[in-house]
Structure 1
Amino acid sequence: MSGDKNAWLRAMPWVFVLIWSTGFIVARYGMPHAPPMSFLAVRYALSILCFLPWIVLAGVKWPSDHRQALHLAVTGVLMHAGYLGGVWAAVKAGMGSGLSSLIVGIQPVLTAIWLTSVGGHHVSRRQWLGLLLGFAGLVLVVSRKFGAGGPGDSANWLNLSFAVMALFAITVGTLYQKRFVQPCDVRTANTVQLAAALVVTLPLALLEAETMHWNAELVGAMAWSVLGLTLGGSSLLYMLIQRGAAASVTSLMYLVPPCTALIAWVLFAEPITATTIAGTALTAFGVSLVVRPSR
């Protein structure tokens, strides 16, 4: 039993990366048939309905400390409403799955720089070099996207703004959770987070002029979003943050863009060019310089 538990703990980061990578793909499947905020509001509501009977049947206790509940609500607004809302709005505005995941993949750089700053340590020359190389790699990839014509393969200031908002939301949310949220049951924690995200997202959904057009693709995207991404991926992210250092956990995020790009190439024929590969490799190298511990 102990061996099985240890094997699961070792596999948990890799399972998380695989599940998390599909989030950008689901956005591509769902967005032609639903506005982003409406889709997310329904996703949050259905996820809460899945968690509640699970909590009741398992007899799980809710957070007794009101301050902890508030901290969970803040992380829910940042890591669900802010992060997912930004990603889905970016994809809806024409950004490709690979590019959106690449921008969010800069998160390890921001996290490492922040942790270095608040820890009282100066940013080393190696880390500054890594930050500049990572930014150069991102510019290399984004520059090819400007002016591109195909659907799901263009970048503009609107969808870039949404993607950058998602980047800052997931970065701040991860750091906030690691700093303020005490360990508690992942089911009740996720439910509080989702409820807070729903409160923020629902009014935005009501303002959207487009309506949801239910079909097989939208149903499939919604089902995987609820069962795979929220109940599976978000729960794994919560547990990983509670168990590990913030920099170590966020470094997993940079494994997501290559995985997403490969899946998007298979499913949507999104191009993987030499420029994309070079930019991704340069950014990956830059991130490795930032997050690598000093000797």
Structure 2
Amino acid sequence: MTRTTWRNIPTTPLLFVALAAMWGTSFVAIEVGLEFFPTLSFAALRYELAGLVMLAYACYSTDRWRPEARDELLATAIGAVFIIAAYHGLLYLGQEHVPGAVASIIISLSPILTAVFASVILTEGSLGKTGTLGLLAGFAGAVLVADPVSAFSGSSGSAQGLGIVLIFLAAVSFALGAVLTRPLRSDLPVQSMQAWSMLLGGVLLHGWALARGESLSTIEFAPAGIASFLYLTLVSGAVAFLLYFELLDRLGPTELNLIGYVEPVVAALMSWALLGHVIDTTALVGFGAIFFGFAAMKKEMLVSVAVAVRRRVAA
């Protein structure tokens, strides 16, 4: 292949697929790592180290590495509490009982929940009939994925049911955090804000781990556990967020938001390939209902995305 041919390959779709792969495989990596690390300490160590890496990058690549104004401090705090600490703490606790592929499908409710919180908190208008239909379809899909009849039958089923509830609450926390930061005005580079949110969120997770009675002495330094931790920290953490910032500049938040519907596909494939887990038909139908719900609530956004993609391909 000639150098000219390489230059003609569009890099944006490749970066989008790479980011979806990194974040989709993170659910499987969490499932593997939980066998060797205490749950919340695992999440805490991951984000403390990733935060340090991101902070070093922010110092290198931006002109401002720390928040100063009130809105910047508030946005960083919201990110640390809701998007890092609460979201990942609940997700990791839930994944003690639920496979990563199923967890990723439940987390794909986040865009729907974000739209609901935005309509209530930011008064962005009522959902309307189509939006309400989308909301109901999304929650129906979540119920199908959860399979409440089997999830709460017997002791193991009850543990699975608890895991599903915790992961759903993680999606709620992520969506709420995303909405609460929208009205805040900040000139702080996103790299710097993300770095501090990771660091502070990691510290909060460590406090939560200590309150839960976890001890770092219980870590098993097995090759699979170390590989999982390094992958989550450096690849799904630092590298993936750098790709995210690049794609955010190229695509904007509207198109990039759709990556949440590619992640479950990646998670399902990797969970099957590495761990032998197979997602049943009911869960797949549930994921389809969740995606339909998002499409119904955000049909205008999807149309604009389709037009933008068509123009980009034509160019």
TM-score (normalizing by structure 2): 0.79
Aligned counterparts of 1:250 and 1:59: Cα–Cα separation in 2: 25
Q: Which residue of 2 aligns with 1:277?
A: 284
Does residue 196 (structure 1) correspond to residue 200 (structure 2)? The answer is yes
Matched, 1:176 2:183: no
Instruction: State how far apart, in whole Å, the 2-side matches of 1:176 and 1:236 are.
Output: 24
Change (3 A) 1:64 1:47: closer
Q: Report the more deviating stretch, 115-124 or 216-225.
A: 115-124
Aligned partners of 1:230, 1:21: CA distance in 2, in Å?
12
Residue 20 in 1 paired to residue 23 in 2? Answer: yes
**In 1, distance between residues paired with 2:89 and 2:64?**
29
Q: Deviations over 1:11-37 (max 9, x none)?
A: 444332221111111111100111121
**Aligned equivalent of 2:37:** 34
Residue in structure 1 matched with residue 261 of structure 2 by the alignment: 254
CA distance in 1, matches of 2:229, 2:258: 28
Code of the residue aligned with 1:230 in structure 2: it is G
Q: Which amino acid aligns with 1:196?
A: L
CA contact (8 A) 1:148 1:155 kept: no
The CA distance in 2 between the partners of 1:154 and 1:11, in whole Å, is 41
Alpha-carbon spacing, 1:248–1:202, altered in 2? closer, same or farther (3 Å): same
Worse overlay, 63-72 or 105-114: 63-72
C-alpha contact (below 8 Å) 2:21/2:266 kept by paired residues: yes
Assess if the C-alpha contact under 8 Å between 1:75 and 1:173 holds in 2: yes
Contact 2:44 2:202 in 1 (8 A): yes
CA contact (8 A) 1:63 1:188 kept: yes
Q: Structure 1: which amino acid aligns with 2:193?
A: A
SS of structure 1 residue aligned to 2:262: helix
Unaligned residue ranges in structure 2 (runs of 5+): 1-5, 304-315
The correspondence for 2:102, drawn from 99, 104, 108, is 99
Could you say which residue in structure 2 is the equivalent of 1:72? Answer: 76
Corresponding residue SS for 1:121 = coil
Q: Please report the TM-score for the alignment, with normalisation by the length of structure 1.
A: 0.84
Aligned counterparts of 2:35 and 2:81: Cα–Cα separation in 1: 25
Q: Which has the larger radius of gyration?
A: 2
Deviations 1:151-200 (A, max 9, x none): 9x986342123212210121122223443253543432222111210221
Task: Classify the secondary structure of the residue corresponding to 1:34.
Answer: coil
Structure 2 CA distance, aligned partners of 1:246 and 1:40?
26
Report SS of the residue matched to 2:183: helix
Provide the rounded CA distance (Å) in 1 between the counterparts of 2:49 and 2:105.
28
Deviation at 1:248, TM superposition (A): 4.5
The count of aligned residue pairs is 291
Partner of 2:313: none
1:21 partner letter: G
Counterpart residue number, 1:230: 237
Q: Give the match's secondary structure for 2:274.
A: helix
Alpha-carbon distance in structure 1 between the residues aligned to 2:277 and 2:292: 23
Contact 1:106–1:167 (CA under 8 A) maintained in structure 2: yes
Picking from 148, 151, 154, the partner of 1:146 is 151
- Cα distance change on mapping 1:229 and 1:71 into 2, 3 Å: same
Shift of 1:106: 0.6
Equivalent residue letter for 2:86: G
Let me know the Cα RMSD of the aligned residues. Answer: 3.2
Counterpart of 2:309 in structure 1 is: none
Q: Which residue of 2 aligns with 1:290?
A: 297
The percent identity for this pair of structures is 22
